[in-house]
Amino acid sequence: MKPIGILGGTFDPIHYGHLRLAEEMLELAGLQQIRFFPAGNPPHRVCPQVSAADRSAMVQLAIADHAAFVLDEREVLRNTKSFTVHTLRELRAELGEEQPLCLLMGGDAFLQLHTWHEWESLLGLAHVVVGYRPGYTLEERIHQAPARLREHYLERLCSVDYLSQHAAGGIAELAIPKLEISATLIRSRVAEKRTIRYLLPPSVANYIYQHNLYVPC
């Protein structure tokens, strides 16, 4: 069964770094679909500068023309903090025990996985698929992670084929060129009235200007 990919993020705003990561993972991991989950009230960082509704609207604009990309707003609609483990439990209940699920993330995010709420439960609910820069593998950096995360990594490292043959539990690495784009970069460029062209889809850039987002008070 082809896995469903799950890409959570603040998406404040969504940009081509996220979209290329998703597109490469769709292809390399043989996913049937990627669901984008804008975080409602991110536990890991200071409040987003714009509302969850705006961040969600920008994701919808960015993925509108991609048949395999889907916006899932459940985290922005929740009134409580967004924890990935809760979202995965809901998806499991909806999609059944057989459907492979792949939690998608960059290498930096993976090395912080142990800080996520109930992080070890995540591995029973989904595979984790990590994008790493070619020539800069996770294997070389895993010593930076705490022992328990290292153990999981070494025990669960799997092939792409494993992802479709099992519902959860593997950790796969995919070499994905990382674009030097971040939401932080885009926010600061807008605040400084500098160009953001070619860093994100034009529809998202237009939304930012029309709604006066990221402009200092």
Question: Judged by CB under 6 A, does residue 163 bind ligand ATP?
Answer: no
Q: Which of 79, 80, 159, 184 binds ligand ATP (CB under 6 A)?
A: 184
- Return the structure tokens found at 173: 């690495």
Is 203 a binding residue for ligand ATP by CB under 6 A? The answer is no
Q: Do the Cβ atoms of 159 and 129 come closer than 8 Å?
A: no
Residue nearest to ligand ATP (CB): 17
Select the span of 25-33, 80-88, 149-157, 177-185 touching ligand ATP (CB under 6 A): 177-185
Stretch of residues binding ligand ATP (CB under 6 A), selected from 90-98, 104-112, 193-201, 207-215: 104-112
Q: Which two tokens stand for residue 23?
A: 């597109």
Instruction: Give the separation between CA 55 and CA 114, rounded to whole angstroms.
Output: 26
The correct pick among 28, 109, 160, 174 for binding ligand ATP (CB under 6 A) is 109
Enter the tokens of residue 199: 């860093």
Among 126, 119, 114, which Cα is nearest to 172's?
126
Task: Report the residue from 3, 5, 10, 214 that binds ligand ATP according to the rule CB under 6 A.
Answer: 10
Residues 17 and 178: their CA atoms lie apart, in Å, by 7
The residue (of 14 and 158) whose beta carbon lies closer to ligand ATP is 14
For the chain, where are the alpha helices, taking DSSP H only? 16-28, 52-63, 74-77, 84-95, 107-110, 119-125, 138-141, 147-156, 160-165, 183-191, 202-210
179 binds ligand ATP (CB under 6 A): yes
181 lies in the site for ligand ATP, by CB under 6 A: yes
Span interacting with ligand ATP, options 9-17, 68-76, 77-85, 86-94, rule CB under 6 A: 9-17
Closest separation between CB of residue 93 and ligand ATP, Å?
A: 24
| Cβ neighbours of 153 (radius 10 Å) | 20
User: Rule CB under 6 A: is residue 182 a binding residue for ligand ATP?
Assistant: yes
In whole angstroms, give the CA distance from residue 145 to residue 11.
25
169 counts as binding ligand ATP under rule CB under 6 A: no
Binding site for ligand ATP (CB under 6 A): 9-12, 17-18, 21, 105-106, 108-109, 131, 178-179, 181-184
